[in-house]
Structure 1
Amino acid sequence: MIHSTTGLVHICSALLAMLFGAVVLLGKKGTITHKRIGYGYVGAMGVLNLTAFLIYDLFGHFGPFHGAALVSSGSILVGMVPVLFRNRIDNWLSYHYHFMSWSVVGLYAAFWSETLTRTVPMQAFWPVVVLATLATTAAGGWLIRKHRNRFIQPAKPTRMKRASHPV
């Protein structure tokens, strides 16, 4: 199944991104571990998306699944810009949480599609791929919504202390 060094790098970066993405998605947010593993996820996704384009350029094997690399790259970019400019973007954490979480869900949906492409007979291919993608997206959406309020706390109004006036 692996036909080139580029393909091997593509698969390895995908597996690494899946591991990092799951740890970040399911783990505690805002910690130094979250940040380090999160940057590992972004790096692995960068390599994954780059190799998707290289596979097309080198071998002409660019199909609809690799076209999703454009969407994936955009999701990562839009998810990271708020972090890098958090002092300038209102509600930056919400943008970061949603775009990065959906990036991980998209990665898992792509995994099922790619795996089923190689294992399911072609006559059952599209129904199985659509079902797997919908199931992955539904489960991911449920997790994202379920945990949203836990990770994105609304800004608490600050209480002004009363100045003590000497009488």
Structure 2
Amino acid sequence: MPHDFIGWFHTIAAILALITGTIILIKTKGTVLHKQIGRIYGVAMILVCITSFMIYRVHGSFGVLHFFAVVSTVTLLLGMLPLYFKSKFKQPIIMHLSWMYWSVIGLYCAFTAEVLTRLPMLLSIKYTYGIFYALVGISAGAVGYAGSIVFKKKLNEWIDAFSQSK
């Protein structure tokens, strides 16, 4: 559970990003609705990324979770940049869809890790950093692997639908 204002702000922004990110993955790409919800997702994720660097409960300093926050920030930016600088990218729409897809999958990884790392406490299991990091790794790995399978299929669909070389 969040312990302070920043933690609550981070959690609420993450929930908003989870909801809007899921809608974006499910709905048709390129529509007005996609763009509107995408903007909400983008702002929510920027807030999640910023606040993630303000949370230091695990070790009290920059740690592995902050590393993943850097990855999340880079993924989000790489997903947004092709829309604003289309002429600089060979396939801007495909680049946007690919990086934003991974932004949402990364958020799913973080959510799953957050839930699973709570299990030992709920089950009254002695909690250690080893268990914590094992659960983070297992959850992120499983969700990331599942996401990669779907990504391969989606990428081919996006290339067929949005490739500029048609």
- TM-score > 0.5 by shorter chain: yes
Query: 1:165 is matched with which residue?
Result: none
CA distance in 2: counterparts of 1:110 and 1:62, whole angstroms: 17
CA offsets 1:80-106 (integer angstroms, 9 cap, x no match)? 111111133211122111111111111
Can you give the 5+ residue segments of structure 2 that lack an aligned partner in the other structure? none
**Residues 1:91 and 1:12: Cα distance change in structure 2 (over 3 Å):** same
TM-score by length of 1: 0.83
Query: Equivalent of 2:140, from 130, 133, 146?
Result: 133
Q: How many pairs were matched up?
A: 156
CA RMSD between the two structures: 2.2
Query: 1:38 is matched with which residue?
Result: 38
CA distance in 2: counterparts of 1:62 and 1:36, whole angstroms: 34
Can you give the 5+ residue segments of structure 1 that lack an aligned partner in the other structure? 158-167
Query: 1:160 is matched with which residue?
Result: none
Report 1:112-151 matches (<5 A): 112-120=112-120, 121=125, 122=127, 124-151=131-158
Query: 2:12 is matched with which residue?
Result: 12
TM-score by length of 2: 0.83
CA distance in 1: counterparts of 2:9 and 2:29, whole angstroms: 29
Percent sequence identity over aligned pairs: 37
1:130 shift after superposition: 2.5
